[in-house]
């Protein structure tokens, strides 16, 4: 940013002008916003500062301005760029740090060197000559400013990477996995969901059993994680093979210890009947 260099004998004159504004305009003035001071400043110029007799020139500033106005050059069509440019580094969390505040950038530029353009109300972030992010400048401390588009892009990239990892793990389960995957994509709307479930089954039952279940599912044209799970479950609960029938030995049935019969019971019963009148 360019700045005017003044000589030592001119600095006091400049500082006196600043002091004059502070003492005559700003002293005791309540400033709720910059818009409010613009209105008050205009009134002060028209009613006080520009119509007074200047102590150095002994003329009114308003009269001097009318004299100089015809020879003044017009302002540039484009406003003067007074921004500060500095290099910045992006951390692994896709953030740059400026004045203790963190600002997001697209995840593509993580851990790279970028250029930060600093303006009073805005921060612009460039990669070479390409504008990649803008943020409203924050004057608080230790704030985290995130563009929702940057977060959405990062989540999308992470989901794609996770789906690719699952697909690779699925294809490594069986030589028939690629055919199963192709048929799955033709017949099911959410193929990644089924692939994730089948990979999870391989961690429970083992890759070999899941590979065999995939082959059987292709044979039955049953494409889906629920079919593979059912095949695995049925194989885990195969009925036990019946053993030999053990019969009780006949001699064991005959070898019984039976007490002798009490035949006196009948004699007593007959005697009792005879004694009845």
145-163, pLDDT tens digit by residue?
Answer: 999 988 887 788 788 888 8
Do the domain assignments include residue 263?
A: no
User: Quick one: DSSP state of residue 25?
Assistant: I
Per residue in 202-249, pLDDT (tens digit) is: 999 999 999 999 999 999 999 999 999 999 988 887 666 666 656 566
Contacts of 123 (CB under 8 A, 6+ apart): 98, 103, 116, 117, 134, 135, 136, 137
**pLDDT number for residue 188:** 78
CA-CA distance, 233 to 249, in Å (whole number)? 41
**Are 158 and 226 part of one and the same domain?**
yes
**pLDDT number for residue 268:** 74
Per residue in 40-82, pLDDT (tens digit) is: 889 999 999 899 998 888 999 999 999 999 999 988 888 888 8
Do the domain assignments include residue 269?
A: no
Q: Which residues pair with 142 in a beta bridge?
A: none
**Are 53 and 128 part of one and the same domain?**
no
**pLDDT number for residue 29:** 81
Percent of the chain with pLDDT over 90: 44
| Torsion sign, CA atoms 157, 163, 166, 167 | negative
Contacts of 51 (CB under 8 A, 6+ apart): 60, 61, 62
CA-CA distance, 226 to 237, in Å (whole number)? 17
Helix (H, G, I), strand (E, B) or coil at 188: coil
The mean predicted confidence, pLDDT, of the chain is 85
Do the domain assignments include residue 37?
A: yes
Do the domain assignments include residue 248?
A: no
- Domain C-terminal end among 101, 131, 146: 146
Q: Are strands 101-104 and 144-145 parallel, antiparallel or unpaired?
A: parallel
Do the domain assignments include residue 252?
A: no
Average pLDDT, stretch 130-144? 95
Q: Give the chain's domain count.
A: 3
pLDDT category at 1 given cuts 50, 70, 90 is very low
**pLDDT number for residue 178:** 92
By residue range, what is the domain housing residue 94? 84-146
- Short-list 139, 148, 184, CA closest to 166: 184
**pLDDT number for residue 208:** 92
**Are 159 and 225 part of one and the same domain?**
yes
**Are 95 and 56 part of one and the same domain?**
no
**Are 49 and 97 part of one and the same domain?**
no
Whole-model pTM: value is 0.45
**Are 97 and 160 part of one and the same domain?**
no
């Amino acid at each position: 940013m360019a700045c005017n260099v003044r000589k030592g004998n001119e600095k006091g004159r400049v500082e006196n002008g600043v002091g004059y504004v502070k003492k005559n305009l700003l002293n005791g003035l309540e400033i709720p916003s910059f818009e409010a001071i613009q209105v008050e400043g205009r009134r002060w110029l028209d009613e006080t500062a520009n119509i007074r007799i200047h102590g150095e020139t002994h003329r009114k500033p308003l009269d001097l301005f009318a004299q100089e106005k015809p020879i003044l050059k017009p302002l540039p069509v484009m406003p003067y760029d007074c921004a500060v440019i500095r290099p910045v580094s992006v951390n692994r969390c896709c953030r740059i740090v400026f004045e203790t505040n963190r600002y997001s950038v697209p995840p593509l530029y993580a851990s790279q060197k970028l250029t930060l353009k600093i303006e009073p109300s805005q921060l612009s972030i460039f990669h070479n000559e390409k504008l990649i992010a803008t943020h409203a400048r924050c004057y608080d401390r230790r704030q985290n400013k995130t563009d929702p588009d940057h977060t959405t892009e990062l989540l999308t990239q992470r989901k794609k990477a996770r789906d690719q990892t699952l697909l690779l793990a699925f294809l490594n389960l069986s030589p028939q996995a690629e055919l199963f995957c192709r048929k799955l994509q033709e017949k099911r709307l959410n193929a990644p969901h089924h692939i994730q479930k089948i990979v999870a089954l391989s961690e429970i039952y083992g890759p070999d059993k899941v590979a065999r279940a995939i082959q059987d599912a292709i044979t039955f044209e049953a494409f889906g994680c629920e079919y593979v799970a059912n095949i695995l479950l049925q194989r885990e609960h195969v009925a036990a093979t019946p053993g030999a029938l053990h019969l009780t030995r006949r001699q064991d049935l005959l070898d019984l210890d039976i007490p002798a019969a009490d035949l006196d019971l009948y004699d007593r019963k007959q005697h009792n009947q005879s004694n009845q009148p």
